[in-house]
Chains A and B, each alone.
Chain A
Amino acid sequence: MKTILLAPLDPVHDNAIKLLKRKLDEAGYNAISMPPGTTPEEVIQKSLTEKPEVILVSRTLGYKVAEILSQLLDLAEASGVRDTTRIGIGGMAITKEAGAELGFDGCFVGELKMNEVIDFIENRVPSVELTGKSNQLRIKPDITAGYTYKFYDPIIEELLERITSQTLAWVKDKTTIGIERAKIRTELLECEKEGNSHNQLLDKYISLCDPEIQNFYKYHTLPDGVRWLGQSEINRVSDLFNVPHPDFNSLRHTEKKPLFFSQYGTGCPIMDVYHIKVSEAWGIDGVFHFDPSWNAQKEGLLEGHLTHEYDGTILTLENLQFIHHFMEPYTLWNVRGHRGLNTPETQVLGHAAGADLFKINIPYGSTAGGTDPQRLTVDGIYSLMLAAQYGIPFDIPGNDELSGVPPYKTFAGILIMMALGLKLGARPIPKPLLCYSPYMTINGLMDDNMIDMNVAKLAVWRDIVDTPIWPGEPVGFMTHTSDRVQSALQTSLHASLAATMDVDAVTIASSDEAYSKGPISVQARVDTLRAVRDQLRFQGSIKTTLSPAAESIKDEIHEKITETLSIIADRDDFVASIYEGLIGSQEDGLYPGRIGAGTVNG
């Protein structure tokens, strides 16, 4: 058994030494610790009697640090201790550079990493930076695993049955050029896989696109501000990121969930890769692909590695594959197709590129998302069928609340999407929005606190259906300001509140959430990840119980969801319900979308 002498060369601080002793004892070493205020002479004296293999000293105070440590090393040389014993140093007053300059054999800075200490004791080449939890193999989880989707509320279940039966009957035999393109794209991918010629198919695809997209295929003209990525740029990204790296710890402290997600979509696939890799390094579990809105408003998608300087990264198979290639094996990847004219094809490309999750929400996409309700209902239901066929779960963001819609109407829409998905064999994930929405502000529902309403919005789902819950999108929406400290704090408070409610995943923003004059910076992503990590450390496995006020809000939301679904079921026309504002009206701040109006066939 190796003997390790632990000495705090500090008048009062010896916490690190005590912690080190416990960990070294557990690891099977004979660790001898000395009291605070030990002098260099006493350390050497003890070394001569105990003959340790290694001495580890700590120093917290900066006062006279160089003088005391030099004295220790001089005495170790003079006494012959240095001939047989290696000496390491750590503590707040120490930097790597100072430790090396003074002549220590090892120097430990920052958080205690036992693998580094043991490597030093064993005189081994340092292993990659591992701490506790990261030694466990991180796997890509299935958010929907273990949920039965059993409805606990039979009235809501019956209403959803009526609404979805009517909707599926309405959509039967209807199609759109978006669906036709998705079918052609599927065939094109098959042809490419088998190495067959596909010129005729491509011509057919092009004929179903808007003129600007047709010009891209026919004359290689790029939309304004878009450029091709060069091969050398693409190759260089591989040089940067296809290299070994330390394990990345998850943000979670003690719990297995929630998973944490953030969005990317800087406009450039290379910058996206960098942002994703940084987010992974700081603990993210999953990411979303954000495409530009113009991309969604045109019939047809482009091809190739394309970049531009605007928000949202252009959705092409090549861009998706490129970005996905650099993700960690455990990173979950969501390709969103919740609005626009390319929703079905987005699922096809997402699946081909390796997506783990889709995002589909017809009521949201056909109001706040700007797409015509008829068009998105037909496209959206086809997309749900694709999600079922591919076995890829889809999430349903409740971001229509941001326009001023009360949560019960948004939740009614989410429930309809869930029921449609379940009927078609897909696995839905509702995403109640934790936010300070216009509805809350106008009605003073968060005047006292932001907890009761938000926990009620999560808890109500547990009373209705056995489902995973994923608050988003991102949490804390409309609480953030451009003050990075305030923004990161609000994100961490909302994220941790959700974690105490046992949710399955949480979408978080960067601290640039409220800054609109430029792209999100990479350091702004780190801000919130860092804040959430500490907040989770702070609260551990604490759970939230609902206050009487929260219980009352929850019951009211539940009741009003039932009322809303009842009105929609009686209307007997889901699409008309969206046009007529039953899931969110003009008074609420929602207007039916217009993009793609009049394009449904059949």
Chain B
Amino acid sequence: MKKALDSVVDAIDIETFLYCKSESEGKELAEKLTQELNLPHGDIVFLEFKAWGARVRIRSYIHHPGDHYRWLETEGN
């Protein structure tokens, strides 16, 4: 059976709010989060720190343009 991840057309974005005390700590945490979630090629698209934490969006490309897309494959292929 196909994994749900195979149906991601190109990228996964995860938005969250991280408890942290500085922008650099927020970045470190966001990077760590992509690793903990096993997201390949994780990148911080956006991070905004204000006083009590950071609003963040991290992205992982599941399919890059030019790849062989798993969503294009038929079942069992």
Chain A residues with CB under 8 Å of chain B are 225, 227, 233, 236-237, 239-240, 266-268, 270-271, 274, 307-309, 481-484, 515, 517-519, 521-523
Contact = CB atoms under 8 A, between A and B. Distances in A.
A429 B63 CA distance: 37
Interface in B41-65: 43, 45-46, 48, 57, 59, 61, 63-65
A521 B11 contact: yes
Contacts of B64: 309, 518-519
B72 A518 contact: no
Contacts of B59: 518, 521
A240 B7 CA distance: 13
B20 interface: no
Contacts of A240: 72
B66 A268 contact: yes
Interface of B: 9-11, 13, 43, 45-46, 48, 57, 59, 61, 63-69, 72-74
A240 B74 CA distance: 10
B73 to A, nearest CB: 7
Q: Which of B9, B13, B65 has the most CB of A within 10 A?
A: B65
A271 B65 contact: yes
A141 to B, nearest CB: 29
Contacts, number: 68
A468 B18 CA distance: 48
A233 B68 contact: yes
A227 B66 contact: yes
A521 B61 CA distance: 9
A481 B63 CA distance: 24
Which of A225, A227, A519 has the largest count of B CB atoms less than 10 A from its CB? A519
A468 to B, nearest CB: 33
Contacts of A307: 65-66
Given A518-B61, A523-B11, A482 B46 contact: yes
Given A518-B11, A521-B13, A522-B10, A268 B46 contact: no
B29 to A, nearest CB: 18
Contacts of B63: 271
A473 to B, nearest CB: 22
Sorted from nearest, which 3 A-B pairs have the closest CB atoms?
A309-B66, A268-B65, A267-B65
